[in-house]
Amino acid sequence: MDQFECLACGPIASREPDSPSFCPACAEPLFLVPAARSCGKTIHEDLPLALERFADFLPLDAIDPGLSLGEGATPLVRLERTGASMGLSAVYAKNEAQNPTGSFKDRGTAVAVQKAVSLGFKRIGTVSTGNMAASTAAYGARAGLETFVLLKEGTAVTSLKAAGIYGSRLIAVEGDYGSLFRASLDVGKRLGIWFMNSIDPYRMEGYKLTAFEIYLQMGRRSPRFLFVPVSSGGHLLGLMRAFEDLEREKLITTTPTFVGVQARGCSPLAAAFAAGLERYERPTEVRTIAHAISNPTPPAGNAVLRLIRDRKGLLLAVTDEEMLEAQRQLAGAEGLFCQPESATTLAALKHLAAAGRITENSGEAVLVLTGSGFKTPRLLESLPFEVHKIPLSGLESCLSRLIR
Amino acid sequence: MDQFECLACGPIASREPDSPSFCPACAEPLFLVPAARSCGKTIHEDLPLALERFADFLPLDAIDPGLSLGEGATPLVRLERTGASMGLSAVYAKNEAQNPTGSFKDRGTAVAVQKAVSLGFKRIGTVSTGNMAASTAAYGARAGLETFVLLKEGTAVTSLKAAGIYGSRLIAVEGDYGSLFRASLDVGKRLGIWFMNSIDPYRMEGYKLTAFEIYLQMGRRSPRFLFVPVSSGGHLLGLMRAFEDLEREKLITTTPTFVGVQARGCSPLAAAFAAGLERYERPTEVRTIAHAISNPTPPAGNAVLRLIRDRKGLLLAVTDEEMLEAQRQLAGAEGLFCQPESATTLAALKHLAAAGRITENSGEAVLVLTGSGFKTPRLLESLPFEVHKIPLSGLESCLSRLIR
């Protein structure tokens, strides 16, 4: 039986895996207590699946490869040109867009689905505006589980249909997203549907694998800075816990400084951090193109605030214009086309470099690119590109004219 | 200096890397002559990049990791449920959609760009209706090369803009695609723009890596059948040559039976194969949703016909309805959302299984899924999914009603 803890209140007496994942005392999210292994924990680099390589660090008794879609093992790409433009020589992108459904969510879904199947669950679900829907729908299909996707009203039709093609039941729910998030956990518990939402403890365990891979790809050490977009807070907390795991196993001696990034138009955590508050306030207005990180009531928000403060990290907000500019810079200078939400990481690094808070001597900065730009084609269509229309006979003269 | 050969006429006297890649005698495409290595060729499984792992088999003097986007190392996913539905137990998908720009093209672009940069080229280009454009644009941006993308008139705006975000020059050319293909090579040669089109010899070398990975993932042997969509023919020929490389190095004793698949609405090669012709005929009409494999004058077509016949392979055509059904089956039963063009492979396997030509005792079948379904959102929007619209208060009753 897995043990759970609240980072504020400590261990929790007992809890079923699909129970609402909040501490009964303080309502903060719950985490798995890392299992001790008498012989220590090992990374099995020779095994094919990421889940198998890092199995010692996961709360799974066994890994069923039949449930995996080959998630993980994503590249760490050096951004030489981008770094140089800020006077930095060691900037990297961890490209989570290369996961099976094009986002980091697959890391978490893969672990939660392994657990759900091992416990005999027949039904799963999630609450999502996009990436999470596609990921949960895909892994649900892979596992042969009945899958329910609850969509906030107004979700883009492409995201919705992407979940639909995997055969999920699609339900558009009117009303407040935060209330839907909590209602899904309660109702799901009664109906035997495991709603593996953004801060599901097993989902957060999956996010650890991104950090373990960064550790290996950096040559078995921590980068100096890790930049990650923040919405619910689950992704950032999962990454943080991975470095704690590595520290506990004496595999590293230092952990990275975490920089969580929000969209200015919905930045309750960055605002609370800047104001020195212990608890965030719900913003009165939400206005950003960054739908995937636009969460006015992040369920792990206060835990993120506390941990970032304790560990001398940062929470920043960037504007829509800044993230779109960073998105184009990553594509144009590095060949990496990510979602604007992912590009917030570069926009934040640019702020810190411009302010002299990160310099050439500061050490490596890793940007976690959370999702693929190909999944948000609507944003592309509004971009103004020049297309030269010519007849075939005009090809040579057109090319000659365009050559720099 | 690399040596080239025509598969029909033999070695070619001399040729510059960016010269039009056709045999001066018979107009068939040219290939690199595999370099001999006195000490044999080794797979370096411990190296991080796919290009580095298989470097002994590539015509590159060195690999510059700075030009890579982390292409390759894609999963081989077992399709248990899909196989069982046909009475087969060993069906696999090689998911090339997990490449950096979401398609197999990245394999070829990665090698061609390594070569271009090592030879001092400053400009590259391609002719494309979609996947190739995004891939060439991305790697061109990564390498800091000026990149020109020639688009057939009528290319979907999303494909076009996806190339645009990487900073490529976009040129929409009126007129025949086959003529544009050849004109680009001639004009490019004069202007110092290496047009790395679908049958560029270095591009085809890159496609070999997919086959090398399948070989490793199958436990260092060949699968019995390899299914691949066929457009220009370059992808299939690259995969074939990889197994020849492995045979030459005595790493395998048998090669797979290749099954090339076309869309019924544009299937010059499947038609010629069925009619026992040595040369294909241009179809009088082209009508298919499978734009990525809709090529009425495939430049490597006659080479494909000859090799498939010589090696007892097959060329088949499937209808749009069959590929769309297969696309939904892969998503719904396996959690793999690919382009309809990729799903032609499953549609073809279903034909062969239904006809009793592939049975439980035939051995493994690997389907090469060439591109991500997330890149063709337009097709999604016409799919009829049921969305249940409810208020938050109706969540429990709605879910209770939907549960199977």
Q: Which long-range contacts (CB under 8 A, 24 or more apart) does B183-188 make?
A: B183/A392, B183/A395, B184/A395, B184/B125, B184/B126, B184/B127, B184/B150, B185/B19, B185/B20, B185/B21, B186/B20, B187/A395, B187/A396, B187/A399, B188/A399, B188/B18, B188/B125
* Residues in CB range of B224: below 8 A, 6 or more apart: B256, B257, B362, B363, B364, B365
State the CATH architecture for B76-102+201-381.
3-Layer(aba) Sandwich (3.40)
Contact call for A102 and B176, based on CB within 8 A: no
Contact call for A390 and B173, based on CB within 8 A: yes
CA–CA dist B4, B17 (Å, integer) = 9
Contact call for B173 and A395, based on CB within 8 A: yes
Residue A252: CB atoms within 10 Å: 18
The chain A residue lying nearest B155, using CA atoms, is: A387
Predicted pLDDT of residue B404: 87
Query: B180 in contact with A at a CB cutoff of 8 Å?
Result: yes
CA–CA dist A54, A43 (Å, integer) = 5
Q: Which amino acid is at A10?
A: G
Predicted pLDDT of residue B89: 93
The chain B residue lying nearest A106, using CA atoms, is: B335
> Which residues of chain B have a CB within 8 Å of the CB of A81?
144
> Which residues of chain B have a CB within 8 Å of the CB of A195?
none
Contact call for B399 and A173, based on CB within 8 A: no
Predicted pLDDT of residue A78: 98
* Residues in CB range of A224: below 8 A, 6 or more apart: A256, A257, A362, A363, A364, A365
Predicted pLDDT of residue A163: 85
Contact by Cβ (8 Å): A235, A370: yes
CA torsion sign for B130, B136, B142, B144 is negative
Task: At B332, list the tokens.
Answer: 């719904």
> Which residues of chain A have a CB within 8 Å of the CB of B400?
191
| pTM (predicted TM-score) | 0.97
Predicted pLDDT of residue B154: 67
Beta-bridge partners for A258:
A226
> Which residues of chain B have a CB within 8 Å of the CB of A44?
none
Q: Which of A99, A157, A171 sits opposite B388 (nearest CB)?
A: A171
Residues 242-281 of B with CB under 8 A from A: none
The chain B residue lying nearest A155, using CA atoms, is: B387
Query: B181 in contact with A at a CB cutoff of 8 Å?
Result: no
Query: A165 in contact with B at a CB cutoff of 8 Å?
Result: yes
C-alpha dist (Å) from residue A153 to A218, A293, B278: 42, 16, 57
Helix axis angle for A157-165 and B320-334, nearest 10°, is 80
Beta-bridge partners for A315:
A260
Residues 339-378 of A with CB under 8 A from B: 372-375, 377
Closest to B81 measured CA to CA, from B91, B73, B67, B71 = B91
Contact call for B387 and A170, based on CB within 8 A: yes
Q: Which of B98, B164, B187 sits opposite A383 (nearest CB)?
A: B164
Q: Which of B158, B179, B193 sits opposite A381 (nearest CB)?
A: B158
Contact call for B335 and A100, based on CB within 8 A: yes
Smallest CA–CA distance, residue B82 to chain A, in Å, is: 11
Q: Which of B70, B171, B184 sits opposite A390 (nearest CB)?
A: B171
User: How do the domains of chain B map onto residue ranges?
Assistant: 76-102+201-381
* Residues in CB range of A344: below 8 A, 6 or more apart: A229, A261, A262, A263, A290, A293, A318, A322, A323, A326
Per-residue tens of pLDDT for chain B, all 404 residues: 789 999 888 888 777 777 777 888 888 899 999 988 878 899 999 999 999 999 999 999 999 999 999 999 999 999 999 999 999 999 999 999 999 999 999 999 999 999 999 999 999 999 987 899 999 999 999 999 999 999 877 677 667 778 889 999 999 999 888 899 999 999 999 999 999 999 999 999 999 999 999 999 999 999 999 999 999 999 999 999 999 999 999 999 999 999 999 999 999 999 999 999 999 999 999 999 999 999 999 999 999 999 999 999 999 999 999 999 999 999 999 999 999 999 999 999 999 999 999 999 999 999 999 999 988 777 676 777 888 999 999 999 999 999 98
Predicted pLDDT of residue A160: 76
Residue A191 exposed, middle or buried by CB count within 10 Å (0-12, 13-18, 19+): middle
Sheet holding B10-11, edge to edge: B10-11, B4-6, B30-32
Could you give the residue ranges of the DSSP H alpha helices within A194-319?
201-217, 234-248, 268-275, 301-310
% chain A with pLDDT above 90? 83
Angle (CA) A106 A109 A110, round 5°: 80
Predicted pLDDT of residue A154: 67
Query: B379 in contact with A at a CB cutoff of 8 Å?
Result: no
CA torsion sign for B378, B379, B380, B385 is positive
Angle (CA) B115 B117 B119, round 5°: 70
B/e letters for A36-60, b = 16+ CB within 10 Å, e = fewer, are: eeeeebebeeeeebbbebbbebbbb
DSSP strands (E only) in B191-305: 193-195, 225-229, 257-263
Interface test with A, best of B45, B51, B69 (most A CBs within 10 A): B69
Q: Which residues of chain A have pLDDT under 50?
A: none
Smallest CA–CA distance, residue A243 to chain B, in Å, is: 22
Contact call for A77 and B95, based on CB within 8 A: no
Interface test with A, best of B218, B388, B397 (most A CBs within 10 A): B388
